[in-house]
Chain A
Amino acid sequence: MAVMPIERGKIREYAAATGASRAEYLDDPFAPIPPTFLATVVFWDDLPRVFDLPETRAGCAAIGVVPDVRRLLSLEQEYVFHGEILHAGETVDTGLRLDSVDLKERRSGSMALVRFTVTFTDSAGELRAECHYTSAFLTSVGGSA
């Protein structure tokens, strides 16, 4: 868990980096966040810690996968927003939880699908946004590294 300030300058920088041209992102002191802006949570919270949680390790062990962040692929991210879009000047508390670990077989080998969620709660205690991540560990074959 971390405390993440929603900063005007960061919003302006992120909007420019993604080609977003709406004036609110660039000029509004209370700029709303762009739809994928909460990816910047990594400046405040250490998301890979989800792979060290006992439940993640147990889930991986149950399907015979050793979690190795060097073999990690990010597949999908889904942001869900509740109520008013977060804006510059607000501060949120982040939370992190494991949702599931599943084995997926593919022609090119098997992989462990890890689904986890980052939550963003405002100073009034309201859940304002969630990001559902789907990542995959490629499994090693025959014990090779």
Chain B
Amino acid sequence: MTTSDVGIEAGQAFAPREFGPLTMTDIVRYQGASGDLNPMHHDDEMARAAGYPASFSVGMLGAGYLAAYCTDLFGTRSVRRFRTRFRKVVYRGEVLTAHAVVREIRGSGDDARVALGLELLDSSGAVVVDGSADFLLDSMKSIGSEEVSE
């Protein structure tokens, strides 16, 4: 199935969302919230000693931004699968942009799902986190056309 009765179809993209510029406060707030207190994310001296120009962001913060982007679009109770891969280190000051595209629609009825491809890009256009997710198709019924871009 490529087109659903709620007007979602394969290849369809959604309006992107920006996060940042990323600050040390954003990073330490995520570290406190998540419980990942790895000092490489907030200790510049330690990061430089390990060969990095500065401490760098947490991969799961980028994944969390993609998750927030998706739940803002599709609601909070319709996620069934959410996968992210870390591709590139991100430093403070970076502006990140979340993108989602419909890959396919699977199944039918109440359990029909929209399979999404996800990307978080930095300001140079490089992918810093990519992923895929399944959301219930039902959750897309409320999406207005103004949120959809080609």
User: Among A18, A20, A21, A81, which residue has the most Cβ atoms of chain B within 10 A?
Assistant: A18
In the bound complex, residues from chain B placing their C-beta under 8 Å from that of A78 are 81-84
Q: Let me know if A13 is at the binding interface, CB within 8 A.
A: yes
Q: Let me know if A25 is at the binding interface, CB within 8 A.
A: yes
Tell me which residues from 65 to 93 in chain B have a Cβ below 8 Å from any Cβ of chain A.
65, 67-68, 70-72, 75-77, 79-86
Size class of the A contact interface (CB-based, 8 Å): 20 to 34
User: Among B67, B70, B80, which residue has the most Cβ atoms of chain A within 10 A?
Assistant: B67
Q: Let me know if B102 is at the binding interface, CB within 8 A.
A: no
CB distance from A137 to the nearest CB of B (A): 16
Residue of B whose beta carbon sits closest to that of A134? B85
Contact yes or no, B84 A76, CB < 8 A: yes
In the complex with contacts A22-B75, A74-B59, A14-B33 CB distance below 8 A: yes
Contact yes or no, A17 B29, CB < 8 A: yes
In the bound complex, residues from chain A placing their C-beta under 8 Å from that of B34 are 14, 17, 39-40, 42
Tell me which residues from 96 to 112 in chain B have a Cβ below 8 Å from any Cβ of chain A.
none
User: Among B32, B63, B133, which residue has the most Cβ atoms of chain A within 10 A?
Assistant: B63
Q: How far is the CA of A41 from the CA of B3 in the complex (A)?
A: 38
Number of chain B residues close to chain A: CB under 8 A:
32
Q: How far is the CA of A142 from the CA of B20 in the complex (A)?
A: 42
Contact yes or no, B86 A35, CB < 8 A: no
CB distance from B38 to the nearest CB of A (A): 10
Residue interface bits B48-63, CB-to-A below 8 A is 1, else 0: 0000000000011101
Contact yes or no, B35 A42, CB < 8 A: yes
Q: How far is the CA of A24 from the CA of B78 in the complex (A)?
A: 13
Interface residues of B (CB under 8 A from A): 19, 26, 29-30, 32-36, 59-61, 63-65, 67-68, 70-72, 75-77, 79-86, 133
Interface residues of A (CB under 8 A from B): 10, 13-22, 24-25, 32, 34-36, 39-40, 42-43, 74-81, 84-85
Please name 21 pairs of A and B residues whose Cβ atoms are closer than 8 Å in the assembled complex, sorted by A: A14-B33, A17-B26, A17-B30, A17-B32, A18-B61, A18-B65, A18-B67, A20-B67, A21-B68, A24-B77, A25-B71, A25-B76, A35-B71, A39-B60, A75-B85, A76-B85, A76-B86, A77-B60, A78-B84, A79-B81, A81-B80
